[in-house]
Amino acid sequence: MPRSSATTLALPPFEGTVRRLILANVVVFFAFELMGWLTPGLTGSLLDLLQLQPFAVAHGALWQLFTYSFLNLSLLGILFGMLTLWFIGPMLEGIYGSRWLAELYFTSAIGGAAIASAISFTHILHLSQLAWAAGVGAPVFGLLIAIAVRLGDQEFLLWFTVRIKAKYLVGVYVLIDLAMLLKDSDQFNALLQLSGGVCGYLYVRFAPSRGFAFGASEQYFGLRNAFYRARRRRAARKFEVYMGKQGRKVTFDKDGRYLDPDNLRNDPGARKDPSDKRWMN
């Protein structure tokens, strides 16, 4: 649990992107448990189709880079994964926003899966492209790395008893995954989590402060506004030519806004009030 002042066992807020992610994972978990009880054959086929397997991804099953992260196959796995997401997610969401958190989560999930799948084809450390993995480990690990980078001095209560800073806690998790990777113990899953952490780190370091989606929308609206301003200036020039042929003179500023001739007559340096939006698109 995060701790910043007096010790408290109050739970973080259950809302926003964190709530949607947790509910999605829980619904998928119980849906597969129910299907496994009713139709075990169909459940096995769906798991083969949706879990992450590098060999299948290389042969076109690209959806597995995303779907595997919602397949939590054990009760302890989903329990600890969702509790970790619940405790650390609201901290990031409260500071950086829901969109930023969602982008970090899925960047870690999809990017980590892509990196781990590619590395498995090198056969380094006896890795195999026929290995498989599922679960929320990679995106949650990306969130943990984000906590360590952005809020490294934030204190947590490990097992509700031991106070430890976030950067040291995440360091312990990294060492555990490295040990699993080197000791042939669930290697591909350990590699997947480490890859998710790498993608989380890259996102935190290089993504816009409010996320790629917000940055892209800003660029889009900037280009759109520039386009409309150019159209307005072109229309203003054509109108000036037309009115000149009619023996009348009209004046526009460099942005295509109309300049009142009375103001120009009284004060040649006067400009139209920039807060006047009547001549702006």
pLDDT digit string (tens) for 197-218?
Answer: 999 999 999 987 766 565 555 5
| Residues 158 and 231 both lie in one domain | no
Same domain, residue pair 159 and 228:
no
Instruction: Domain of residue 246: give its range.
Output: 224-266
Domain boundary among 179, 207, 235: 207
pLDDT of 135 over the 70 cut: yes
Residue 224: count of CB within 10 angstroms of its CB = 11
Structural domain includes residue 276: no
Helix, strand or coil, per DSSP, at residue 117: helix
Cα–Cα distance measured from residue 196 to residue 105, given in angstroms and rounded to the nearest whole number:
9
Q: How many separate domains does the chain show?
A: 2
pLDDT one-digit tens code per residue, 89-122: 999 999 999 999 999 999 999 999 999 999 999 9
Strand arrangement, sheet containing 2-3: 2-3, 155-158, 162-165
- pLDDT, tens digit, for every residue of 230-267? 777 777 777 777 777 777 777 777 767 777 666 655 55
Q: Is 270 helix (H, G, I), strand (E, B) or coil?
A: coil
Neighbours of 87 (CB within 10 A): 17
163 and 260 housed in the same domain:
no
Within a domain: 101: yes
Asked if residue 250 and residue 155 are part of one domain, the reply reads no
Residue 228 and residue 97 share a domain? no
173 and 258 together in one domain: no
Name the residue type at position 74.
S
**Boundary (domain end) residue, out of 173, 207, 241:** 207
First to last CA, the chain: 51
Residue 65 is assigned to a structural domain of this protein: yes
Judgement on whether residues 52 and 7 belong to the same structural domain of the protein: yes
**Residues 23, 105: Cα–Cα separation, whole Å:** 15
Read off the pLDDT of residues 59-91 as tens digits, 9 standing for 90 and up: 999 999 999 999 998 999 999 999 999 999 999
Residue 215 lies in a domain: no
Is 274 within the bounds of a domain? no
Q: By three-state DSSP, how is residue 158 classified?
A: strand
Residue holding tokens 């460099």?
254
**Domain identity same for 72 and 16:** yes
> Same domain for 88 and 178?
yes
Residues 94 and 40 in one domain: yes
Tally DSSP H helices, then E strands, for the chain.
Answer: 11, 5
Give yes or no: residues 242 and 153 share one domain: no
pLDDT of 268 over the 70 cut: no
- Pair 34, 171 in one domain: yes
